[in-house]
Amino acid sequence: MLFTVTACGAESSSVGLEALSIEDRSDAEGYHPARAGEILVAVRVRLLNAGAAPVPIDEGRFELARAEGSPLDADPLTAWMDGGCAGELPAGESVECVVAFALREGFEPTHAVFTADGERAEAALPARPPPGDGLRPTNQLDLLVMSDDSGSLTEEQASFTAELPRFIAVLASGDLDADGRADVPPFDVQAAVVSSDMGVGGFTVPTCAEPDFGDDGILETEGRTDVSGCEAEYPGFLEFSPDAGADPAVFARDLGCLTLDTGGCGFEQPLEAVLKAVSPSQPTIWTAPGYRPPAFFEDTPGHADGANEGFVRPDSVLAIVMLSDEDDCSASDPAIFDPSGDGPYAGTDLSLRCFAHADAALHALSRFVEGLLQLRRDPRRVVFAPIVGLPADLEPAPGATPHWDTLISEDPALRDDRLEERINPAQPSQLIPSCDLPGRGIAMPPVRILRAAHLLEARGARVALGSICRERYESAFDSLVFQIVAAARGAD
């Protein structure tokens, strides 16, 4: 939908202006055209103050104009000024912001103009996307890995990290078929890891060391120093740019170092962890119109504009990969974790409550479907890729549409028996596994995660299903690459 061009400000000015993108935002909530044929456009700019004094910034200092200097025919409206755009730009610093204009019918601006205290800077505008779906190609990928950090994932995490070098090499080169030639532009990648540990409502539960918030959807920074090549600390998210000469093998190794952790809480809340990690506390320039910030445990906000700020970019493909051998237990009622003999769930074994009381105590799946989709202005920019307890023979081929009736149908005659949640008569405190791979352990039916994937796909997101019930995850990563490329191309 958006793309970047380079434009220089006037040489005599100490203020530099770069016009990054222009987008039709006529569908913005609350916008009503003041005249026939008017549209609302949002121009994202970067300002640089190369002078010695601060420069004031507000929407009234921006204009749109034609190259020949025709009179202004666009009215500046309320600017979505995030990240310090309002107020003053200190000397020697730069900032990105978005300013909105009501564009009158027939006026096609070619330049953005900024003036302040006698300083003037101009920048050529990129082409405005044509009418229609307007989804433009991008090479930006923001990759969030949700890694189940409970004690049963040691072998699975090793298999996952073993695929990362090939995966990152494909993204870094754009060579999809290993013939030595780029099939798509190389990707600019930001990657981060969150755990499935979101606490247990403050109750004292075995394996859950931080009972209130757990890891809270904050991007992991602690590396595994017991693993060769891993550092003790990493930034919240890793960055790889093909133009910067970075080594994809090192990037893959570092991402693996953040993924390798098996000392977390046994009550996994992967959907809640992902949603909190990438949701801002208020609308931003990259959220969809009408964005409604979700609230989390004890009415806390999401971290995308706080602890995790900078990870989600405005024009990126947002890919969410989940690695777990359990189903989701994202709780709306924390009392489900109360191990005492009191409370509404006391009559159910603690390890079965997420299954037995899903309707009463877990968040509705619509929370996560709506929550993730509203993070992009087009749902096709969202990729959801769970690698979960899907029997290996039911894993779709890369690019193939999942057989949803076989996976999640309410009709037992259509659904595969292995994906039915049933109490194990041999071990009444557990469910019957959906798969059991000798030497690696069992996985449980991922009913909620698969249903969330189906709902996301129905709304336009891209889905890649993988089976954790394999020794190698090559096919799961091939499916992930297929969907990432399709999302980046803007292809249907």
Is residue 247 a contact partner of residue 255, using CB atoms and an 8 Å limit?
A: no
Q: Rg of the chain over CA atoms, in angstroms?
A: 24
Beta strands of 361-468 (E only): which ranges?
382-388, 423-424, 427-431, 435-437, 441-443, 462-463, 466-467
Average model confidence (pLDDT) across the chain: 87
The answer to the question of residue 391 being in a domain is yes
The answer to the question of residue 213 being in a domain is yes
Mean pLDDT in residue range 134-141? 86
More confident residue, 166 or 289: 166
More confident residue, 484 or 72: 484
In this predicted model, what pLDDT tens digit does every residue of 349-390 receive, in sequence order?
A: 999 999 999 999 999 999 999 999 999 989 999 999 999 999
What is the pLDDT, as a whole number, of residue 151?
Answer: 74
The answer to the question of residue 296 being in a domain is yes
How far is the C-alpha of 75 from the C-alpha of 86, rounded, in Å? 18
What is the pLDDT, as a whole number, of residue 468?
Answer: 96
The answer to the question of residue 4 being in a domain is no
How far is the C-alpha of 43 from the C-alpha of 27, rounded, in Å? 15
What is the pLDDT, as a whole number, of residue 133?
Answer: 53
In this predicted model, what pLDDT tens digit does every residue of 420-466 receive, in sequence order?
A: 999 999 999 999 999 998 888 899 999 999 999 999 999 999 999 99
What is the pLDDT, as a whole number, of residue 461?
Answer: 96
Indicate whether 118 and 144 sit together in one domain. Answer: no
Please report, for the domain that includes residue 116, its CATH number.
Answer: 2.60.40.10
- Residue 454: Cβ within 10 Å count: 18
What is the pLDDT, as a whole number, of residue 13?
Answer: 62
How far is the C-alpha of 381 from the C-alpha of 319, rounded, in Å? 8
Indicate whether 97 and 243 sit together in one domain. Answer: no
Indicate whether 322 and 268 sit together in one domain. Answer: yes
Of the pLDDT bands very low, low, confident and very high (cuts 50, 70, 90), residue 227 is confident
What is the pLDDT, as a whole number, of residue 322?
Answer: 98
What is the pLDDT, as a whole number, of residue 82?
Answer: 37
What is the pLDDT, as a whole number, of residue 68?
Answer: 55
The answer to the question of residue 131 being in a domain is no
What is the pLDDT, as a whole number, of residue 9?
Answer: 36
pTM of the model: 0.77
What is the pLDDT, as a whole number, of residue 75?
Answer: 52
What is the pLDDT, as a whole number, of residue 411?
Answer: 94
Give the number of domains in the chain. 2
Indicate whether 111 and 237 sit together in one domain. Answer: no
Indicate whether 392 and 447 sit together in one domain. Answer: yes
Res 71 pLDDT > 70: no
Lowest-confidence region among 17-26, 179-188, 328-337, 374-383: 17-26
Res 134 pLDDT > 80: no
Indicate whether 347 and 383 sit together in one domain. Answer: yes
Mean pLDDT in residue range 256-277? 91
CA distances from 210 to 118, 322, 341 (A): 55, 22, 22
What is the pLDDT, as a whole number, of residue 30?
Answer: 67
The answer to the question of residue 482 being in a domain is yes
Res 186 pLDDT > 90: yes
Indicate whether 109 and 195 sit together in one domain. Answer: no
Indicate whether 361 and 457 sit together in one domain. Answer: yes
In this predicted model, what pLDDT tens digit does every residue of 10-59 receive, in sequence order?
A: 344 678 888 888 877 776 666 777 777 778 888 888 788 888 888 888 77
What is the pLDDT, as a whole number, of residue 449?
Answer: 98
What is the pLDDT, as a whole number, of residue 328?
Answer: 97
Indicate whether 118 and 202 sit together in one domain. Answer: no
Indicate whether 416 and 288 sit together in one domain. Answer: yes
Indicate whether 227 and 99 sit together in one domain. Answer: no
Beta strands of 32-93 (E only): which ranges?
39-49, 55-57, 62-65, 74-76, 87-89
The answer to the question of residue 8 being in a domain is no
What is the pLDDT, as a whole number, of residue 467?
Answer: 97
More confident residue, 182 or 42: 182
What is the pLDDT, as a whole number, of residue 425?
Answer: 94
Beta strands of 368-484 (E only): which ranges?
382-388, 423-424, 427-431, 435-437, 441-443, 462-463, 466-467
Is residue 448 a contact partner of residue 407, using CB atoms and an 8 Å limit?
A: no
Task: Select from 89, 124, 159 the last residue of a domain.
Answer: 124
Question: How far out from the chain centre does Cα 67 lie?
Answer: 38
Look up the domain containing 394 and give its range: 140-489
Indicate whether 263 and 148 sit together in one domain. Answer: yes
Beta strands of 350-401 (E only): which ranges?
382-388
In this predicted model, what pLDDT tens digit does every residue of 98-125 receive, in sequence order?
A: 888 888 777 778 888 888 877 888 888 8
Task: Select from 92, 124, 156 the last residue of a domain.
Answer: 124
Task: Select from 91, 124, 157 the last residue of a domain.
Answer: 124
Question: How far out from the chain centre does Cα 218 lie?
Answer: 13
The answer to the question of residue 133 being in a domain is no
